[in-house]
Chain A
């Protein structure tokens, strides 16, 4: 009887999660193309990717993107959440404005940013130029392409993390802060000893999600830079897309995907282990 109840969920999970996962692992051990026979080549794809400078370039770009965007977007989200958890005029408007980018498709956002940042005809480029901050060749400059796609990623995700932090802040019992205030604790001290430790569970979730978002970065690079100039913004997901859907090398693309899975899993486990130790409950 119990099996009958869980059968629909198991079937769905099996079809859309477990089957593709195992299938991609098997594919990564073959020379599969989009059409034609697939031959088992063992770890051949993995050996190839470790020799492929483009893989290392994509791994470097992805790591750089994650190291910069995840902490900044989480930090900004926490600051906004702390500010907007107070009684402020038009607090709802500010919360909505910051959250808004997250509910719009990242592809659409990226098209808008690409036009705004266009060095020759972009409105943002023109405004910055007016105030003496020309952006040169903008996203078409290899030195500025990565910072530009990072800004879009941070701008997009900060609102979502802010909402998660706001929920975390509102779950902290008010009387704990009030008691500390009566005892003469400063705002900074209250944050350090009460708010931050009690936000540990929220932080765990936000940081793990931020890291996963960063490792999945694709949309803004695809739209704004096509991974260029000369691969300077090509991330691992872009490489997977390029190998799988442009070059039709499904085996190789699956191998890169599995390396990405292992990296994300490892990061997530480390973060979970660290924050579990930090979790505090009163």
Chain B
């Protein structure tokens, strides 16, 4: 008998082991009762306590909705989110970079939120138009702004003064001349060289985009139907900056975002195009820097837009949907968006915020004036594929002297067009 009991116990344990991985833990919320919604994001940086405080304040401000937030490192988050959402197990609200959103929308795992804007819970005209455009697909708006900014030109005042240059460049021509004048390069002395500008080719807001857009080049046309990476303007701009990199050594080759940051933070690069999040690190490093609008070129002045937005899961219930809308409106209220801006250096998501409300944080004030942001590969479902597998390796090949610029850009354009068609 005891033996049989033991056998049954072993079988039961096996069954439990087998089934435990398959069971769900969801509990339906009571009808008309308080609703709990989940919110996933990857705000692991210095802005984490600010985001946590906003969620805490929202939960304390009313009793109908409770937001439970999970913050994960970006690489974990970006790998986990889509499988979770596609299995209907993801969060109610997911923060997504504007570049990631089209893929999620096309797969149908996030829901349009036009009814939120129509409800009048928030004044749509007071939100950044670039963010709304970046989360609109086929005439439907899918996102509520969370952060929105454009890159600006950080410049090291001490290095500029030492080179006898009085202020930051206003045009691309001045940028090129200043970058050469600021570079102190000696072959074999990479550990002490000073570079005029740090131009990262990956894992950073697109500096190459700013250089190309300013002179009429780019990556894909506005309709997102064909590559313009090999247009005469793109070829001319890439050739010009590649020559300056390879022959005048204005920037090291192959930098990623962190390396470019480190170089500017070490006082070894005189300029860098970056967002407001970098300013705290530069201040801590003791860099005497200023921020200026990105220089304008023959086609105008452009900056790389950075936008993260909150999206509603397609599987959300009506109660969860309403709870999420309440949270979207709270986040984009004048008070909360100012709180976020003052404590992080980002410009507020409310365009009607008086500049005087941002006096406590000059970086936020400065970035409020950053303008004409463009999204690098914006609105492309195959953003990650085209970025990592075509554009970055092509730019790396060019800047390493790995072939003829026109030929490499023609080949890349074929690959981009194949991606756009597929």
Contact = CB atoms under 8 A, between A and B. Distances in A.
A134 B268 contact: no
B101 to A, nearest CB: 15
Interface stretch (B62-70, B294-302, B393-401): B393-401
A137 B190 contact: yes
A138 B255 CA distance: 11
A234 to B, nearest CB: 10
The number of chain B residues touching the other chain, given as a range, is 35 or more
Contact of A134 (B190, B262, B385, B402): B190
A34 interface: yes
Contact of B393 (A137, A228, A245, A247): A228
B270 interface: no
Contacts of A34: 82-83, 86, 107
Nearest to A129: B191
A1 B402 contact: no
B109 A35 contact: yes
Interface string B43-66: 000000000000000000000000
A247 B385 contact: yes
Contacts of B255: 140
B369 to A, nearest CB: 31
B190 A228 contact: no
A243 to B, nearest CB: 10
Nearest to A1: B7
Contacts of A231: 393
A45 B19 CA distance: 33
A226 B90 CA distance: 28
Given A228-B254, A231-B393, A36 B384 contact: no
Interface residues of A, number: 38
A246 B390 CA distance: 13
Interface in B1-58: 3, 7, 10-11, 13-14, 17-18, 21
Given A1-B3, A125-B190, A11 B396 contact: no
A68 B268 CA distance: 36
Contacts of A242: 388-389
Interface in A21-42: 34-36
A247 B392 contact: no
A145 B263 CA distance: 20
Interface in B77-108: 79, 82-83, 86, 107
Interface in B384-416: 384-385, 388-389, 392-394, 396-397, 400, 402
A7 B14 CA distance: 7
B121 interface: no
A5 B14 CA distance: 10
Given A11-B18, A125-B190, A248 B82 contact: yes
Interface stretch (A114-122, A185-193, A272-280): A114-122
A166 to B, nearest CB: 37
Contact of B254 (A4, A134, A140): A140
A1 B5 CA distance: 11
Given A35-B109, A134-B190, A120 B263 contact: yes
Contacts of A135: 190
Contact of A230 (B109, B256, B396): B396
A61 to B, nearest CB: 14
Interface in A212-252: 226, 228-231, 242, 245-248
B396 to A, nearest CB: 4
A164 B256 CA distance: 39
A259 interface: no
B193 interface: yes
A134 B268 CA distance: 17
Contact of B190 (A120, A230, A247, A248): A120
B188 interface: yes
A121 B263 contact: yes
B253 interface: yes
A12 B396 contact: no
Given A1-B3, A129-B188, A118 B259 contact: yes
A15 B14 CA distance: 11
Contacts of A121: 191, 262-263, 266, 268
B143 interface: no
B217 interface: no
A126 interface: yes
A8 interface: yes
A22 B273 CA distance: 49
A8 B17 contact: yes
B252 interface: yes
A161 B262 CA distance: 36
B149 to A, nearest CB: 25
A121 B260 CA distance: 10
23 contacts: A1-B7, A4-B11, A11-B17, A11-B18, A35-B82, A118-B262, A120-B195, A120-B252, A120-B262, A121-B262, A121-B263, A122-B191, A129-B190, A129-B192, A138-B190, A140-B252, A140-B253, A141-B254, A141-B400, A226-B256, A228-B202, A228-B393, A230-B396
What 3 pairs across the A-B complex have the smallest Cβ distances? A140-B254, A35-B86, A230-B393
Interface of A: 1, 4-5, 7-8, 11-12, 15, 34-36, 54, 118-122, 125-126, 129, 134-138, 140-142, 226, 228-231, 242, 245-248
Interface of B: 3, 7, 10-11, 13-14, 17-18, 21, 79, 82-83, 86, 107, 109, 188-193, 195, 202-203, 252-256, 259, 262-263, 266, 268, 384-385, 388-389, 392-394, 396-397, 400, 402
